[in-house]
Amino acid sequence: MSLVRIKDATDPGTWGPAIDEAVNAVSRGELVVLPTDTVYGIGADAFDPRAVQALLDAKGRGRHMPPPVLIPDVRTLDGLATSVPDGVRALADAFWPGPLTIILRAQPSLAWDLGETRGTVALRVPDHRVALALLRRTGPLAVSSANRTGRPAATTVQEAYRQLGASVPVLLDGGTAPGGVASTIVDATGDVLRVVRLGALDLEALNAVTPVEAPLPPQETADAPGTGPGATEPGTAQPAAGAAQPDVTPSDGPAAAPAPAGDDERVDGDR
């Protein structure tokens, strides 16, 4: 493991070497910390099973809570998911980059292992220039909130370092993350689009674009597609995908009210 390096990534004019170092770390199968539009996230190459396991180990969480995947743009959608409904495309066009995580059926041919996903993947395009600059170089990253499970999500790179320590060799310092409300999670693995967790986007905003059903009552979500032990975060109740938001991930479970940014909201990096 190389020495821990906190790299300044606050200025696009000078952050090139910092992004280069993070890209190199990802290519070596190492972890990186990155800012997102919610909280700081911890990221790994989504196609490197050992790196993804290292991410879960660094957070102290099991395979039943798989991280979501952050992507650089909507064009990546078809390469990772099967049968993308027109409604999903409409939502992605309207709200990406932004606080919307979408759970879809994963392409069965993909060589990845995110954990117990039940054949799904939770995807988001973060609205943060540092995260996007990195994702355009690395491709899809498995990202969860940069904190130990059960502890507060980090809104500064120093907070992330205090929790994760030497498990992450490169940390990109993009200043203070906004925190606030987690991403809204929509499950697109069933016959209808359905909210799993309400967050920054409310049902009215979603339905202005395409029909989306309200969250099921708790007793009906236990075995519903896209729900279960791994769907929360940057924390997660989990839709079939094991959905972080830095969105980093969803928060532990479907929520009928907006979820505060915090542990495992699937930055989104899990949020």
Q: What percent of the chain has pLDDT over 70?
A: 79
Q: How far apart are CA 65 and CA 114, in angstroms?
A: 9
pLDDT value at residue 69 = 97
Residue with structure tokens 């800012």?
A: 35
Phi, psi (deg, nearest 5) at residue 76: -75, -15
Q: How far apart are CA 241 and CA 74, in angstroms?
A: 18
Q: How far apart are CA 92 and CA 27, in angstroms?
A: 28
Indicate the burial class of 128 (C-beta count within 10 angstroms; 0-12, 13-18, 19 or more): buried
Residue with structure tokens 């009552």?
A: 217
Cα angle at 101 between 251 and 45, to 5 degrees?
90
DSSP-derived secondary structure for 197-217: E--SS-HHHHHTTS--BPPPP
CA dihedral 130, 133, 139, 143 (to 10 degrees): 0
- Digit-coded pLDDT (tens) for 139-162: 999 999 999 999 999 999 999 999
Please list the ranges in the chain whose pLDDT falls under 70.
1-4, 219-271
Q: Rounded to a whole number, what is the distance in angstroms from the first to the last CA of the chain?
A: 28
Q: How far apart are CA 49 and CA 152, in angstroms?
A: 26
CATH classification number, 5-221, choose in 1.10.287.130, 3.40.47.10, 3.90.870.10, 3.40.190.80: 3.90.870.10
User: What tokens appear for 199 in the block?
Assistant: 């967050």
Indicate the burial class of 83 (C-beta count within 10 angstroms; 0-12, 13-18, 19 or more): exposed
Q: Which H or E run contains 124?
A: strand 120-124
